[in-house]
Structure 1
Amino acid sequence: MKRTAHAHWNGDLKQGSGQISTQSTTLSNTQYSFNTRFAEGVGTNPEELLGAAHAGCFTMAVSAVLSQQGIKAGDLDTNAIVELDVTTQTIKGISLELTASLIDGVSQEQFEGIAKIAKENCPLSKALAATPITLSVIYQ
């Protein structure tokens, strides 16, 4: 299975702007710019999108682990905080904060173990740990 996304940018870093779209069209020419990334502005930014994707993937993985153990999930809510070091232009880390409604028969310790398994097996957690990135360039 492959999923695609597209980004377009025009102009220099600070004055330019771009649009991001996804195959599903959930994002369709969604604006992003220097201001939406490093200040306040209307639109999105790569770190926000990364956080949303990771939160979604991880939360689904928690539900999957619960199901595999015969446990019906209640409400699961995850915040993903992506920390970008603007000086070094590196992502310093991603903090996943999971809040779940109590599930009958599941202790805090058991649930923490389930969440850890989910984090280790979430495809985005794995990808962010170490995934080869290939590049193809067309210069016209």
Structure 2
Amino acid sequence: MRHTFHQVLHWNSKRNTIGQVTIANYTHDFSIPASLDGPGQGTNPDELLLSSAAGCYIMTLGAMFERSNIEDAHIELKSELLVEVDAGTYKVSELHHYPTISYVNLEKRKLIERLVHKADERCMISNALKGNVKITIHPTFKEVAREDSIL
């Protein structure tokens, strides 16, 4: 089975313009980030890559929790993308995910810990980046009482 995804981009011939990207009927501005001497309006390819990697990771983890009958856990994810510049060449070097897992069922702690790392192995975006980008998972686990649960 093959899945195909599409997008449409509009850009003029100048470096510091503001383009538009349309994905799934949503149009967003994008430009070179201000930190790279661009206009910094809308999103940018670096943020889109980070969003893709983080979104894929958290959805994969959620699906793995569901298949493992982990119904009493909440996932919050912060992620960071590092870009290095060497002789004018920009390269994504590292991706760090910082998932915080709040859970109620202490018996499932070991399974939750295993799945947090397994999700990176199963995420299609992580697999596309591997070999070029160092990906690291830095989890935090919080046991919460059922009455304090935000789940």
- TM above 0.5, yes or no, is yes
Which residue number corresponds to residue 65 of structure 1? 64
Indicate the residue corresponding to 2:121 in structure 1: 120
Letter in 2 for 1:78: L
Aligned positions of 1:37-56 closer than 5 A? 38=36, 41-56=40-55
Match of 1:93?
94
Higher relative contact order (CA closer than 8 Å, sequence separation 6+): 2
Which structure has greater strand proportion? 2
Structure 1 ranges of 4+ moved more than 4 A: none
CA distance in 2, matches of 1:65, 1:31: 33
Gaps of 5+ in 1: 131-140
Matched residues in 2 for 1:54 and 1:115: separation? 14
1:18-29 matched pairs, under 5 angstroms: 18-22=19-23, 24-26=24-26, 28=27
CA deviation map 1:26-75 (0-9, x unaligned) = 3x1x2222345625733100111111111111111111222222221522
1:76 is displaced (CA, Å) by 1.0
The percent identity for this pair of structures is 25
Give the deviation of 1:17 after TM superposition. 2.7
Q: Matched residue pairs, number?
A: 126
Opposite residue 61 of structure 1, the aligned amino acid is: T
Q: Which residue of 1 aligns with 2:136?
A: none
1:115 shift after superposition: 0.9
**TM-score, normalization by structure 1:** 0.77
